[in-house]
Structure 1
Amino acid sequence: MIILIFFLAHWFLSLFFQTFFLHRYASHKMFTTHKVNERIFHMLTFICQGSSYLNPRAYAIMHREHHAYSDTEKDPHSPYFFRDVFQMMWRTAQSYKLYEKRLKEPDAKFAGNYPEWRLLDFWGSTYVSRILFGIGYIAFYIAFATHWWMFLLLPIHFMMGPIHGAIVNWCGHKYGYANFDNGDKSKNSIPLDFLMLGELFQNNHHKRPNNSNFAAKWFEFDPVYPVMKVMHWVRIIKLRKPLAG
């Protein structure tokens, strides 16, 4: 039971900060917040993603490219240009590293207006940081695992961020239904997206990329949006009014 709780906590906390901080804030600036709060969110993203920490700058640049070139050859991770999800993940990782290591500069229209914390982003991307988190996960399992098969969950802990990204980018552009014709192949994979915290409403999101609520129809539910509304009401963040379109 302890291992299951730990696994689910890591899954949903990592995913929450990926969608809330990296996606909705760093990439789209769906809300504004005080610099102190931004630093807190940045640190929590590092802690919760752990060994698979994703640099907000690199994430934001690639995600903006994805929207601009959705499902074309310039899309950094469209499933329609790869044999399988593993090839897509490998190519995505290569593109990500170029921006994370600053070996490539983005087009001007994709640059800027994303959170940067040079020291934390550098440390979080080092092998030392990733290995230390990995050792921590292994130690926790050694202490609390009651069956051998539980250790099979460890690779998911190690690669949590990329796994979340792969599920969204692959399934969200291949499987499901579409509410809107966006000129791409984006889909809403399921109407009640609890497992991926609303990220699989890709068709809705590509239609309204500035809207903090990824649900569009009455039967759809984005579980992160109510959390953001509460944070807005208590003035931790300030939700921006979505642009028309």
Structure 2
Amino acid sequence: MVYQGVLTKMQTEYSAPIQYYLVFKDDFINMNQLLDRNISISFVRYECLNCGLDKPIYRQGFCRSCFFDVPQAADWIIRPELSTAHLGKEDRDLEYEKKMQLQPHIVYLANSSSVKVGVTRKSQVPTRWIDQGAHEAIEIVEVPNRYLAGITEVALKEHVSDKTNWRTMLKNDIVDENLVDWRERLKEYIPDEAKAYFIANNSETNIEYPVQQYPEKPKSLNLGKTPNYQGVLKGLKGQYLIFEDQTVFNIRSNEGLVVNIEVK
């Protein structure tokens, strides 16, 4: 069977293990059902997630011109401390920014390759943790807007990482941590503006991924250099497909590419 569509990040369902879905315009694939199956991925063309044109993807699924224009790619997406909607100040589109920034946000600790701090909208818990390949996570602060979450993250990352090592995460070369203890150690560094939003009583969320074989030396598939690839699917973690030959394919970083996926 052959599927064709533009790649967007896999949708997930929190269960044990996580259920993964690759969603196209007129179809979807439950990726868990493809484990142990031989599948091929072939690059067809580009399709910018904003303008829909066949133009090389620059970042985040957008062509270069759209990336520097659409509010979905503004700096505050990556750096929430730059959010200004709470002040009524527009960056690219104030209505969109109010919708996205002026809602409850979570500052969290997640363990993907090591303990890291991050920010997400409350509505994206636990999806954000799953997308990062975290096997355990905990909320530490719940604030009413993105700006407060951003300044809290900036303060805490002086004392804990804000990055994930994707190779370590995929190799499953990880150590369980007591995230409640981490939360307690870090609370003194929360900015004064956010101290009242500290979450004092909660427990870790544990996440199980559908992986039959972890790669020892993961090698990333680049469809620009290798437009046709075939392999046996052995796992799904974060937004990665993991293959038997240790090839890994990051769906998220290939958003905006139209591909053929053939299941054999």
> Under a length normalisation based on structure 2, what TM-score does the superposition of the two structures give?
0.27
More helix by share: 1
Q: Which has the larger radius of gyration?
A: 2
Q: Which has the higher contact order (CA 8 A, sep 6+)?
A: 2
